[in-house]
Structure 1
Amino acid sequence: MSILVDKNTRVIVQGATGRDGSFHTRKMKEDGTNIVGGITPGKGGLKLDTIPIFDSVSEAKEATGANASVIFVPAKFASSAIIEASDASIPLIVCITEGVPVLDMVKIYHLVRSRSGVLIGPNCPGLISPGECKIGIMPAPIHRRGSIGVISRSGTLTYEVVNCLSNADMGQSTCIGIGGDPIIGTDYIELLELFEADKNTDAVVLIGEIGGDSEERAAGFIRRKMKKPVVAFVSGRSAPEGKRMGHAGAIISGGQGTAAAKVAAFKAANVAVADTPSEIPGLVARQLERQ
């Protein structure tokens, strides 16, 4: 079992015929994802290999029964693409695109939620339930099917942690990159709730970074609500104040959002915190032994 996606997820790709879109559409299909269509305005009726291309999301949904969309379009069109998917009542929208304006995201955030949709991203690697479905750009070969949930603000750090877990024979139920922008569609707490309710997820690894207070809020939720063990890692411990480190949301301002504050919050919630990614499998194993 997994959260958000499984082998029955029917995926359409917005921007499927572009350079990045076509490459990752083929990779997702190779990795076992049920890609049922692509969207490029003006190219309806064409095909990408065997995948039909449609002019609009609504047309694609009507023809294919799609229940998830992934967005690979340039930043200036990404906001409109998210809105189009929401207008078509696609329940799960994953936006890979980086550079979506913050003011646009303020409106989109509330729009998608008002329609009971789920938005992952933007500026994220997507998600994968190994052996069932991959939506986005995560490297499927390093993943293994199993019972460890993974949530992360960082893309490449996710891959490093997953590789450590897989090498320790700790497979994953679902791995989700939520995105590193200041405003994203889905945060840690919502996904922790889903993992807590998933009977086949035994533990969760949470990968955080400097900036904002999402990790502190997640720690509070874990302390109050989580029964399953959680192991955390926080990157950016040596980041200077006021300097953005990679992601737009990864910035310490006014002494808030520091790695030290996040680590302290997790420890106060009895969450085991790793100093390096390689320590995570061992901490997960010890937490599970205590259950």
Structure 2
Amino acid sequence: MAIFINENTRVIVQGITGKQGQFHTSQMITYGTKIVAGVSPGKGGQQVENIPVYDSVFMALEEQPADAGILFVPASFAKEAAFEGIDAGLKLLVCITEHIPLHDAAKIMSFAQKRGTTVVGPNTFGIISSGKCKIGIMPNQFYVPGNIGVVSRSGTLSYEIVGNLLGAGMGTSTVVGMGGDRIVGLDFVEVLKEFEKDPQTEVIVMVGEIGGTSEEEAANFIKDNISKPVVAYLAG
């Protein structure tokens, strides 16, 4: 099992022709992710890693049905790109972009909620169901299938923890990056709910940071709702 994404998830990359978009598209394909299309306005008809590029998400979905999207776009264009993906019907949107203006981020979350789209981030390293699908920028070599679910606000700390787990002979079920900006989509509680329901996940690791109340809210939720062991680390 996996949460949010699996081996059948079909992914669109918005901003695929940029340097970061090209590099991480290659890495996701190498991991086994089904990248079916890229979007870059004005560059429709090109290809990146043999993936067709379209001028809009709507045009891409007409020829390449997809469930999820990942954004590699500048902060000033992130709201427009996110709205396009949500409006086109993508059910999961991973927003790598950081420093999105707060008003833009709030509008993205409001629109996503109305349309039933799950947003991961912004300022996230993404989400990966080990051995099945990666939608993000995490290093491929650390993620092997196992029974530990990880949810983290920090990218680098999550890499270190997952790397240490791997060194100890342990793997992960799904790893979720909540994102480091002030306004994000998925929060600890939403991810904890999914891990609790996931039969593959037997242990949960939470990585928090100072600032905000999400860690306290998660702790209160865990007391009454999570039956699985939870190991939490709060940085800072």
TM-score by length of 2: 0.98
Structure 1 position 49, deviation (Å): 2.8
Q: Which amino acid is 2:74 matched to?
A: P
Asked if 1:185 corresponds to 2:149, the answer is no
**Separation in 2 of the partners of 1:61 and 1:165?**
38
Relative contact order, higher structure (CA 8 A, sep 6+): 2
**Separation in 1 of the partners of 2:129 and 2:200?**
12
**Separation in 2 of the partners of 1:169 and 1:111?**
42
Asked if 1:138 corresponds to 2:138, the answer is yes
**Secondary structure of the structure 1 residue equivalent to 2:7:** coil
- Unaligned stretches of 5+ residues in structure 2: none
**Secondary structure of the structure 1 residue equivalent to 2:66:** coil
The equivalent of 1:252 in structure 2 is none
**Separation in 1 of the partners of 2:220 and 2:106?**
24
Asked if 1:38 corresponds to 2:38, the answer is yes
Structure 1 position 43, deviation (Å): 1.1
The equivalent of 1:160 in structure 2 is 160
**Separation in 2 of the partners of 1:177 and 1:211?**
16
**Secondary structure of the structure 1 residue equivalent to 2:109:** helix
Matches for 1:21-170 after TM superposition, within 5 Å:
21-170=21-170
Matches for 1:201-280 after TM superposition, within 5 Å:
201-236=201-236
**Separation in 2 of the partners of 1:9 and 1:17?**
21
The answer to whether the 8 Å contact 2:20/2:72 transfers is: yes
For residues 14-45 of structure 1, the C-alpha deviation after alignment (integer angstroms, 9 at most, x for no partner) is 00000111111111111111110100011111
Structure 1 position 233, deviation (Å): 0.3
**Separation in 1 of the partners of 2:18 and 2:205?**
34
Q: Which amino acid is 2:155 matched to?
A: G
- Unaligned stretches of 5+ residues in structure 1: 237-291
The answer to whether the 8 Å contact 1:61/1:67 transfers is: no
**Separation in 1 of the partners of 2:131 and 2:226?**
27
The answer to whether the 8 Å contact 1:130/1:140 transfers is: no
Identity %: 52
TM-score by length of 1: 0.80
How many residues are treated as equivalent by the alignment? 236
**Secondary structure of the structure 2 residue equivalent to 1:42:** coil
For residues 130-165 of structure 1, the C-alpha deviation after alignment (integer angstroms, 9 at most, x for no partner) is 111010101110111011100000000000000111
Larger radius of gyration: 1
Structure 1 position 126, deviation (Å): 0.2
